Chains A and B, each alone.
Chain A
Amino acid sequence: MTISKRSLMKAGLAAAWLPLFTRQGFAGDWTTIEAEARGQTVYFNAWAGSETINAYIAWVGQQVKARYAITLEHVKVSDTTEVVRRVRDEVKVGTAKGSADLVWINGENFRAMKADRLLFGPFASDLPNFKYVDVEGKPTTLFDFAESTEGLESPWGMAQLTFFGDGTKISDPPKSMEGLVAFAAANAGRVSYPAPPDFHGTTFVKQALLETIDDQGLLQMSAIKDIFVGESGPMFALLDRLHPHLWREGKQFPQSQAQVKQMLADGELLMALTFNPNEPANLVASGELPATTIAWQHADGTIGNTHFVAIPINSQAAAAAQVVANFLLSPEAQGRKADLKTWGDPTVLAMDKLSGDEAKFFSGGDVAGSVADPAPAIPEPHGSWVPLIEAAWLERYGA
């Protein structure tokens, strides 16, 4: 197909109008949105593998019902890619009545939805509570896997790769990938990680890539296959050395982080990994792991990111979805979420932006299972590296 200059110009003119149209639905002030939201039902598509998270979302449902007369339905999702697929299929056949109103999302799924224009917005920076967000101290609240959010998703919580195990069995936890190889060699069959494309498994491999690559800066740019092939050599060399010492000699892998965690609790594995630094403490508090549990991060830092909520473009309740997103950013909801007794998901807010009363929602303090020496968070590689990493991993270790 040839593209004439004229049609390009037409497209450009149309594109110039686009922001006006897309912003129309929420250009009005916040009280209008709140009024419109009353009585709407929000189908919140959120990963539901954890009881504490489900309980927290149920609490949010009670709150938005009482405060804004919004009904929140938690659509329990085991893999967010299902939601992306569904929305894309709905939009493709022109279903105006979308099945999802709010999606818990980040990374590759966000990139796919953004690229395919499946998202409503920009709306995030217009949320009244967005002013509390720590955009300076936590730059990943604006850059999701090096992809600019452009206000199409609202930050919800923070994550950083963290490892944990029983302190009575691990005296000297490995603080680097190299250290992990030695640790696995000394404890054959007692270490593993979930197989990519499981999110945690991919993150583990990315951490290995970050620790072995010469120039970490390369990973912040869009991936190029030749560069990946050239630069991933040391990473695969490391994994090749690690795998023979893993559970089932690295020929089989657990399917999910939850399974790794369960295997730690059962005593099959010595350590597990998580993206929530507070999860180990949370598991101690809920009685699933013993009080002797310790958590650690690699000394030079581990991958960290932000997770978000986004609104699909065909949402039937975009107003209510924004009200819910705003409530999720409130100091009260963020404080409760960060509380180890409920969920323990780190906040996206800046403590110094909160008033004294607002800060009271956060009750800090060291408890059993919290990370001993927090290490810096390294921003996620650009999302375009993920398919390359996953394909290469599968090719090498999948069969």
Chain B
Amino acid sequence: MMQSLRRLCGVLPLGVFWLLPFAVGVVAVGLAGFDGMAWVALFLHPQFWPALALSIVTGSLSLVISTLLAFWIVAGLHGSTRLADFMGSFLSLPHLAFAIGFGFLIMPSGVFARIIGLLAGWSETPQWVTTQDPYGISLTAALVLKEVPFIVWLIAALLARTDIGEMLAKQFRVGQSLGHGGASIWLRIFIPQILPRLKWPLIVVWVYGASVVDMALAIGPTQPPTLAVIIWSDLNNVDQAINARGSVGALFLTAALGVIATLFQFVTSVSSIATRRFLVAGPSLSRAPRKPAFALLALFAAIYALVLGVLLIMSVGSQWPYPNLMPAQIRWAAWSQLVDSPAPLLTSLTFICCCVATALSLSVIWFETFTDRLDRYLLGLAVAALAIPSLLIADGQYLAFLQLGLNGTWFGVFLSTLTPVFAYVFIVMRGPYRAFDPRYRSVSLGLNASAFRFWAAVKLPLMKPVLAAAAAVGVGVSIAQYVPVQLVASGRLATLTTEAVTLSSGGNRPLLAVFSLMLAFVPLAAFLIAARLGK
């Protein structure tokens, strides 16, 4: 009786705040799929097929390239313990802020063009096809630059796990004894073991790349744009029939990604015979590429530093035409505007605090009321919440919240932001939280401490680094939400991210730079605080 009551308490808040909003979203958009006219309209859209191809290609290409580069870096720098921490600081920069800054670097009147122009003596801007190029190359590049740190961090986190780390260390020695060099060991032993464990995170990365809206609006192709952008503009159209086309478009994109993922799974299982021949070949003495890996890492660090640097200059430069390397005058107007009307910043911070606090509480309540046997169900749902394009979930939530009168309310936006935030926080926390040594509990209860006192006085302090790390991830996820906030807030609430997207289509560039910098600063601060608490 007590047991089931406790479980009810454990699952009830989770149900209200997370499961239910997630479920009604999926159901509502599913119901919107029963609209034959909308499907016809979708397939008749003149840009449909090229846009779909662009979405799939940018998503897939960025995944493949970033996975390759990530393994290159991890293999080359194997043994460097600070790698995960170093990558984490890259990670905290939101995709949108990065895309905006990266755009300033590569566009025809951007920093690179000015430097080259200065050396080559160009009087006019070059006619480069960089940002918003028709093939989505700049979008892919920005995605790669953003995803590599994430994948490196994932691999590093996996290697840092004591069980896996020790096992791989032993296998490394075996491989060496049999005459395999570092590169061979990575290719033949490590990667085949690591990749399957990263299956779901990589799917999340891929789906994100293929369905991202804010980044594609800032730096993606325009004629045709990616399918996600078409869906997004359909969802925001005046015409009801076009809204419906947007909803079925989101369903189609999700289904298409699902089919491709399944096909890929099938192809890899069939081709395993072919890859086996490679796996058992050898030995090869070639070493893991330490110097190139280091150079690659340095290149990443340099690009990130340049992105932040150009955003800083942009935020204070009002008139900055080509070919000047520096703005004609320094003005602090955009910064003072942030101080004078801090509403977007404060709204973002409020959502961050509430979402992260709720996500942490829900996770802890779950861990404390349920045994780890049930974890995989919730884990499955959490992964689903991330592997389904946020475009689809948020559109469904908009449709459902319309009936409930939640659109345009603070609570509605909170719920739709919590959907991905809880999913990430739960996934990040689960491993380390469950790994807590049960003997602490036995000792505490033996000393006649109550279960709550044990949790508050013993477990919580020991779990502080885990909670801090999960909170930092939660901050990063929360601040970056664009699609759910824009749809559900109905214009009533503006966050740093929604304002930045509005500004990125033109207008006040210094203010855009200020918002982008704030987007970068808040998660970075959270990450640094978490790193400090983790010590």
Contacts and interface: CB of A to CB of B under 8 A. Distances in A.
B502 A78 contact: yes
A57 to B, nearest CB: 11
Given A252-B134, A265-B321, A267-B322, A85 B243 contact: yes
Contact of A248 (B129, B224, B402): B129
Contacts of A267: 109, 124-125, 321-323
A309 to B, nearest CB: 16
A49 B507 contact: yes
B369 interface: no
Contacts of A213: none
B146 interface: no
B319 A287 contact: yes
A251 B322 contact: no
B10 interface: no
A78 B505 contact: yes
Interface string B213-254: 000010001111000000000001111100100000000000
A83 B491 contact: yes
B407 to A, nearest CB: 7
A94 B328 CA distance: 54
B222 A253 contact: yes
Given A99-B408, A258-B507, A86 B490 contact: yes
Interface stretch (A174-182, A220-228, A351-359, A390-398): A390-398
B511 A49 contact: no
> Binding site of B, secondary structure by majority: helix, strand, loop or mixed?
loop
Contact of B223 (A49, A95, A399): A399
A120 interface: no
Nearest to B109: A266
A43 to B, nearest CB: 7
B420 interface: no
B322 A287 contact: no
Contact of A394 (B47, B127, B236, B323): B47
B238 A109 contact: yes
Nearest to B340: A58
Interface in A281-316: 287-288
Nearest to B243: A85
Contacts of B50: 399
Contact of A76 (B323, B402, B499, B506): B499
A215 interface: no
Interface in A363-399: 394-395, 397-399
B509 interface: yes
B505 A49 contact: yes
Nearest to A47: B502
Contacts of A100: 491
Contacts, number: 140
Contact of A258 (B51, B322, B505): B505
Nearest to A259: B506
A320 B292 CA distance: 66
Interface residues of A, number: 58
Interface in B306-327: 318-323
B484 interface: no
B132 interface: yes
Interface string B125-158: 1010100111000000000000000000000000
Contacts of B129: 248, 252
A76 B402 CA distance: 21
A257 B236 contact: no
Contacts of B502: 48-49, 76, 78
Contacts of B508: 50-51
A112 B240 CA distance: 10
B505 A261 contact: no
Interface in A180-212: 189, 195
B403 interface: yes
B108 interface: yes
Contacts of A75: 491-492
B221 A398 contact: no
B492 A398 contact: no
A79 B107 CA distance: 25
Interface of B: 46-47, 50-51, 107-109, 124-125, 127, 129, 132-134, 217, 221-224, 236-240, 243, 318-323, 329, 337, 341, 402-403, 405, 407-408, 490-492, 494, 499, 501-503, 505-509, 511
Interface of A: 43, 45, 48-51, 58, 75-79, 81-86, 88-90, 92-93, 95, 97, 99-100, 108-109, 112, 189, 195, 247-248, 251-263, 265-268, 287-288, 394-395, 397-399
Given A82-B236, A82-B490, 16 more contacts: A45-B491, A49-B502, A50-B508, A51-B337, A51-B508, A86-B408, A88-B238, A93-B405, A255-B132, A255-B505, A256-B505, A259-B505, A265-B319, A267-B125, A288-B319, A398-B224
